[in-house]
Amino acid sequence: MDIKKEKNGTTLTMALSGRLDTVAAADFEKELNASLDGVESLIFDCADLTYVASSGLRAFLMVQKRMNKQGKMVMRHVQDAVMEVLTMTGFDDLLQIEK
Amino acid sequence: MKLDIRRRMLLLALSGSILSFLALGLIVFFGAAAMRDTVMERGRLLGVSASGFVETFAGEQARRRLSSHVGDKALLIEREFEHTRRDAEEIAQTMNLILAAQGDYLPRALPDPHTETVASGEPYLNMSRAVEAGGVDEEARRKMGVAANIADSLAVRNRFYTGVFVGSKDGWLIAADVTKDGAPARFSEKFLDSYDPREMNWYKLAAEAGKTIFTDLYVDTNGTRCITCATPFYDEDGFAGVVGVDCNAEEIYQQAVDMNSAGATDVSFILNKRGEILFSTKREGTLAVADKPRDLRNCGDKRLEMEASAMASGKNDVSLVSIDGEGVYLAYAPMASIGWSFGQVIAQTEVTYPARYAKDNLQTQMREFAGDVRGNVRRLAGVGAAFLLLALLAIVALSVKASGHFVRPILSLTEGVNEIAQGNLDRKLDVHTGDEIERLADCVNDMTDNLKTHIENLAKATAEKEHIKAELSVAQRIQEGMLPAVSSVLSGQTAFDLDAGMTPAKEVGGDFYDFYMLDENRLAVAIADVSGKGVPAALFMVVAKTVLENCTLSAKPEESLADVVARANDRISQNNDQMMFVTVFFGVLDLRTGVFDYVNAGHNPPLAALGGEPFAYLVPEGKPDKPLGVMEGLAFHQRSLTLAAGDALFFYTDGVTEAVDEKAELYGEGRLKAALDREVNPLPSMKELLAAVRQDMSAHVGEAEQSDDITMMALRYSAERRPIA
């Protein structure tokens, strides 16, 4: 999976592409832990994100939990396949998703 | 085959030095050859020009010498004749004085050759019979006697003089004759009787000219070739007679010839105004004195004729002519007073001999010099070749030694590296050449050190990994042990058929399934998928499985299944900082009624084949419930389904639908349903059903690596309850 970051003040936009599987999720988690200090608005651009494994869901859940404390988190342009997983697991309630 | 470094260095050194030597040799050789050629050419030119110069110079010298020779000789002869003239004129003067002052002189008697003996050089007086017969008066006798006083002046002053005399217009002659042998003069009577000076050629010429003249060459009575210098004298009446001096011209000429010689081949001659040769050292040929006088100006040789004309007209020159077929230098100088020209001839070969000698000598020397140069060049080449050979040998020896010196550390390096490669990492390369090879050796030593450290670390890490692997293996067995055996619920009953299986992606997985009898009529089944994989997932799975089972088993009668799941979720969610979660499908089947109550906590919907129809996904209406562990206090929805005998349910985790083939294409829900539907009529045993699905999956996946746990479970309701024993 590729992550492209773009920081604008306290707003961090991360463009995710590829498969967020178990291996990628570990890197993703590390990347998030290193990038989120002082970020008040985190935006995930998921236009090119094709697959999210349960580890990925857990990572999203963790970052949502953290961002709930220091600002807000939004997922954008989520593909249908990923959205299906989010819906099936009820995560669409837990994560803030913008269509 | 490639050459090794040693041979290559050797080759390099050798070829380099041979090339430079060859270049040097070629330069020296061509330089020497060019020098030799230049020297030879220069030498030849020098010889040619020097010999030319010498030839010209010698020729010029010869001409000058010749010119000077003939000048000297002509001058010598002329001086003699000049003396004669002076002598004659002096006598004439004396005669003039005597005759002018006749009163001062007493008549004097001189010997009469008719009657007296006359010594050589002694003056005498002679009168021809004719004159005597003509009558000589007293006055005439007195006058003759006075004139006889000239006798004292007639002393012979010069060895060339053969006679000094005074001829009177009166016919008498006073003379002093010199005999060859010094004996008294002997006169023939006839001569004395007939001799009248006035009839003599010399007398006539001088009387006619009225001044001093020289006669032509004539042969006197003694056979001597003479000329006579004659000059008139005078008395008070005018012309009174002629004074004559005979000179031996031949002797004068001979004196000049003898003075010095121009060369071995030279010829001296005297030419008169008429082109006749008077004297010559040559006895025959063109330049010899002819019996009958002939004019050289008409000799037939144009060139010689021209020169003869020049001589006859009193010119002075040196020229190259051909006489009697021989090339000669002809030099001549005039004797103006007597109108002669002194000529000298010398062979051209004699003149050019010094030049030719010098030229030959020079050329010989040049040839010797060229020979020396050639020899030296040859010697130089020989010495050069020998030196080259020696130098090459030295270079070969040095190169062998040097290349050995260069290659030795490399060989030592190679040997050391070989030993290291054999596994002796404690081997240190010991090279101290101070160059690239030492640096290479240092690098190899560093590398060996690093390698050693790395290998040690790797060994440690491998040991740790092995340890972990062993532990994981134990954990896997423990996890497997935690999954129930199918036999535990199937044995002793016929109300349902059930099979389940899990293929973990790693040693320990996050999936699990569970089934157990809540009481004799109720069967609980669960399938779950923990987020993530590996040890954390396995640990969480244990917690989730245990908590769910505990909550189920400890459920109060009034609690619904949803309540139980909610309670389990609360328990799992507590202290879940890592936000692990687990999707769970949990159901309870009443074997008596076939009612199947279930809760789906975020799990993949199972498939159900009801009433002989194909399988269909149990997609709940409304929003699905969330996985367990996400947050506390969640409410879950309980749903229900009534199974008839023969109806079947198929549960799975996303490892099934999300299994990918080599092109990353998902196995997907469509393929799963199709695989199940192929088995619907009639349904096989649940074990066979799972096997069919697994086989269909492997056909799709092929060689692709398994990325997630694959867990399946199948349940069929039979409704045939066996009485409890």
| pLDDT at residue B299, rounded to an integer | 83
B641 vs chain A: nearest CA distance in angstroms? 20
Residues from chain B that touch A61, judged by Cβ atoms under 8 A, are 579, 581, 630
For residue A6, what are the domain limits? Answer: 2-98
Chain A interface includes B532 (CB < 8 A): yes
pLDDT at B724: 45
Question: Residue B13 carries which side chain, given as an amino acid letter?
Answer: A
Whether this model's ipTM surpasses 0.90 comes out as: no
Tell me how close the Cα of A56 comes to any Cα of chain B, in angstroms: 8
For the four alpha carbons of B552, B553, B555 and B558, in that order, the dihedral sign comes to: positive
Cβ neighbours of A53 in B, within 8 Å: 654, 658, 708
Query: Tell me: the pLDDT tens digits for A31-58?
Result: 888 888 889 999 999 999 998 888 888 8
Chain B residues in contact with A89 (beta carbon < 8 A): 583, 602, 624, 626-627
pLDDT value at B652 more than 90: yes
Give the per-residue pLDDT at B725: 39
The residue with greater pLDDT, B86 or B622, is B86
Predicted local confidence at residue B612, as pLDDT: 85
User: What is residue B308's three-state secondary structure?
Assistant: helix
Residue B470: pLDDT over 50: yes
A21–B626 C-beta distance less than 8 A? no
Distance (Å, rounded) from C-alpha B721 to C-alpha B645? 11
* Angle formed at CA B109 by CA B103 and CA B115, multiple of 5 degrees: 160
Using 70 as the pLDDT threshold, list the residues of chain A that sit under it. Answer: none
Mean pLDDT estimate for chain B? 85
Place B722 in a pLDDT band, splitting at 50, 70 and 90: low
Over the range B384-401, which residues count as b (16 or more CB within 10 Å of their CB) and which as e? beeebeeeeeebeeebee
Cβ under 8 Å to A: B residues 610-629: 623-627
Which residues are CB-neighbours of A86 under 8 A, at least 6 positions away?
Answer: A52, A57, A78, A92, A95, A97
User: For residue B721, what pLDDT is reported?
Assistant: 65
Give B156-203 pLDDT, tens digit per residue.
778 888 889 999 988 889 988 888 777 887 788 888 888 889 988 899
Note if the bond before B682 is cis, omega within 30 degrees: yes
Domain B89-248 has CATH 1.10.3470.10: no
Does B708 reach chain A within 8 Å, measured CB to CB? Answer: yes
Beta bridge partners of A2: A17
Q: Are B531 and A57 within 8 A, CB to CB?
A: yes
pLDDT in tens, B205-264: 999 999 999 888 888 877 888 899 999 999 888 898 999 998 888 888 888 888 776 566
Number of domain units in chain A: 1
Mutate to test the interface with A, among B508, B527, B529, B531 (most CBs of A within 10 A): B531
pLDDT tens across B438-467, in order?
Answer: 888 888 889 889 988 998 898 999 888 888
Q: Which residues have C-beta within 8 Å of that of residue B297, sequence separation ≥ 6?
A: B275, B305, B308, B309, B312
CA pseudo-torsion sign B221, B222, B225, B226 = negative
Q: What is the pLDDT of residues B499-546, one digit of tens each?
A: 999 887 765 678 899 999 998 889 999 999 988 777 888 888 888 999
% of chain B with per-residue pLDDT over 90: 23
- Across the interface, whether the CB atoms of A22 and B579 are under 8 A apart is answered no
**Torsion over CA: B176, B180, B185, B187 (sign):** negative
Q: How many residues does chain A have?
A: 99
Q: Is B616 helix (H, G, I), strand (E, B) or coil?
A: strand
Per residue in B4-14, pLDDT tens?
777 777 788 77
Q: What is the pLDDT of residue B2?
A: 63
DSSP string, B207-239: HHHTS-EEPPPEE-TTS-EEEEEEEEEEETTEE
Domain CATH code at residue A30: 3.30.750.24
A11 and chain B in contact, CB less than 8 A: no
Would you state the pLDDT for residue B713? 96
CB contact under 8 A, A55 and B654: no
Distances (CA, A) of B180 to B83, B156, B183, B185: 21, 13, 8, 9
Top mean-pLDDT range of B285-289, B548-552, B704-708: B548-552
pLDDT at B263: 63
Top-tier CATH class for B486-717: alpha beta
Q: Which tokens is B87 given?
A: 């002598």
CATH annotation of B252-351: 3.30.450.20
